[in-house]
């Protein structure tokens, strides 16, 4: 019998192997991207084949532990997005519901390539006809409602979709939550939400959308790569059961402290309305350069702010 509502220190493959078949409703994974990021204990620089074989192993375990109507969301960078999407569908037999682009600001400035401002989020399901999709939990106001005052508008709003947005601040009418590219600012060093011990912390609002749409209260949410514990924190706040694995003892201690500070039902950090937390340059507050930086963080996060080969900005 698996104990849930905990973060477990250790390798996720070994941890996943302790779980029963079909025991998880939603798995969200934000694995190391194999780009040389400076984690506490994990070495993020495997040979290509080694990385792909390792990924195949843990993703196979995720598939096994998912319920038949379960969902798997994978966050991944450009480097392996194409290969892993093929692996998920052709080799592991998942069905892809959506290929979501998470567009973010505060990426590193490059000089010989375009600045990275997105990560890929693959929404995979085991059964293309039978899966949880709580549309009403994640609707956003539609342009018909906001701009045109159209009486035919669905009063519940519409589902987010996918559109290219360059910089929300530069759009004539700002960024709309109903555009097809999801915009959440990265959890920058100055944000209240920032835990400070992990450079790859994802925003709670982003995980909130995934947990709400792909699981119900009381169901099991799994994250094989705990990191700063965002998935587990959000699952706890949204009254889900949760289980996470994390290799680093130091991160596990910090995740546990984060979870201990949460009461189910607590508000998610960050603004559900992206514009509120992304002030235009003109009106935005000045940011001190001396504020908190995560311990051990020589490079920036794999979602956008890391110094990568060829990223010399």
Ligand X SMILES: C[S@@+](CC[C@H](N)C(=O)[O-])C[C@H]1O[C@@H](n2cnc3c(N)ncnc32)[C@H](O)[C@@H]1O
- Of residues 98 and 301, the one with the C-beta less far from ligand X: 301
- Minimum CB separation of residue 159 from ligand X in Å reads 24
- Of residues 176 and 207, the one with the C-beta less far from ligand X: 207
Alpha carbon 37 to chain centroid, angstroms: 17
User: Does 183 sit near ligand X (CB under 6 A)?
Assistant: no
- Minimum CB separation of residue 286 from ligand X in Å reads 27
Region 35-54 residues binding ligand X, contact defined as CB under 6 A: 39-40, 42
Residue selected from 19, 121, 125, 200 as contacting ligand X according to rule CB under 6 A: 200
DSSP characters over 233-258: HHHHHTT-EEEEEES-HHHHHHHHHH
Query: What gap in Å lies between CA 260 and CA 244, rounded to an integer?
Result: 14
Number of residues located near ligand X, criterion CB under 6 A: 23
- Minimum CB separation of residue 96 from ligand X in Å reads 21
Alpha carbon 124 to chain centroid, angstroms: 14
- Minimum CB separation of residue 154 from ligand X in Å reads 32
Closest listed residue to residue 205, CA positions, set 221, 220, 187: 187
Distance between first and last Cα of the chain: 50
Residue with token string 């995740």? 255
Per-residue contact string for residues 97-136; x = within reach of ligand X by CB under 6 A: ----------------------------------------
- Of residues 117 and 228, the one with the C-beta less far from ligand X: 228
- Minimum CB separation of residue 195 from ligand X in Å reads 8
User: Does 19 sit near ligand X (CB under 6 A)?
Assistant: no
User: Does 7 sit near ligand X (CB under 6 A)?
Assistant: no
| Contact predicate 241/223, CB 8 Å | no
What are the Cα distances from residue 271, in Å, to 23, 140, 146, 205, 278?
32, 14, 19, 7, 10
User: Does 208 sit near ligand X (CB under 6 A)?
Assistant: no
Per-residue contact string for residues 148-167; x = within reach of ligand X by CB under 6 A: --------------------
Residue selected from 7, 12, 16, 311 as contacting ligand X according to rule CB under 6 A: 12
- Of residues 157 and 311, the one with the C-beta less far from ligand X: 311
Q: At what angle do helices 78-86 and 48-65 cross, to 10 degrees?
A: 50
Region 217-246 residues binding ligand X, contact defined as CB under 6 A: 224-225, 227-228, 230, 245-246
User: Does 73 sit near ligand X (CB under 6 A)?
Assistant: no
| Contact predicate 220/1, CB 8 Å | no
DSSP state letter for 50: H
CA R_g for the chain:
19
What pairs with residue 100 in β-bridges? 121
| Contact predicate 211/26, CB 8 Å | yes
- Chain residue whose CB lies nearest ligand X: 227
Joined together, the tokens standing for residue 296 give 């051990």
Residue selected from 201, 205, 215, 277 as contacting ligand X according to rule CB under 6 A: 201
Footprint on this chain of ligand X (rule: CB under 6 A)? 11-12, 30-32, 39-40, 42, 198, 200-202, 224-225, 227-228, 230, 245-248, 251, 302
């Amino acid at each position: 019998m698996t104990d849930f509502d905990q973060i477990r220190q250790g390798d996720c493959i070994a941890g996943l192997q302790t779980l029963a078949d079909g025991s998880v409703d939603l798995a969200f994974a934000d694995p190391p991207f194999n780009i040389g990021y400076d984690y506490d204990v994990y070495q993020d620089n495997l040979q290509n084949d080694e990385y792909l074989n390792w990924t195949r192993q843990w993703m196979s375990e995720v598939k096994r532990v998912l319920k038949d109507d379960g969902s798997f969301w994978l966050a991944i960078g450009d480097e392996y997005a194409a290969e892993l999407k093929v692996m998920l569908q052709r080799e592991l037999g998942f069905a892809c519901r959506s290929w979501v682009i998470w567009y973010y600001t505060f990426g590193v400035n490059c000089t010989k390539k375009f600045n990275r401002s997105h990560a890929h989020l693959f929404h995979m399901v085991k059964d293309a006809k039978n899966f949880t999709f709580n549309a009403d939990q994640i609707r956003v106001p539609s342009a018909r409602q906001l701009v045109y005052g159209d009486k035919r508008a669905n009063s519940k709003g519409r589902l987010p979709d996918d559109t290219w947005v360059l910089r929300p601040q530069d759009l004539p009418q700002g960024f709309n939550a109903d555009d097809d590219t999801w915009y959440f600012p990265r959890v920058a060093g100055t944000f209240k939400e920032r835990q400070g011990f992990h450079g790859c912390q994802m925003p709670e609002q982003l995980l909130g959308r995934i947990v709400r749409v792909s699981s119900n209260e009381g169901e099991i949410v799994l994250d094989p790569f705990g990191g700063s514990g965002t998935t587990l924190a959000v699952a706890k706040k949204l009254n889900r059961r949760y289980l996470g694995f994390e290799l680093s003892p130091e991160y596990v201690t910090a995740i546990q402290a984060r979870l201990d500070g949460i009461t189910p039902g607590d508000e998610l950090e960050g603004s559900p309305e992206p514009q509120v937390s992304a002030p235009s340059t003109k009106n935005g507050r000045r940011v001190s350069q001396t504020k908190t930086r995560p311990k051990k963080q020589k490079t920036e996060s794999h979602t956008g702010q890391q110094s990568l080969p060829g990223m010399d900005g």
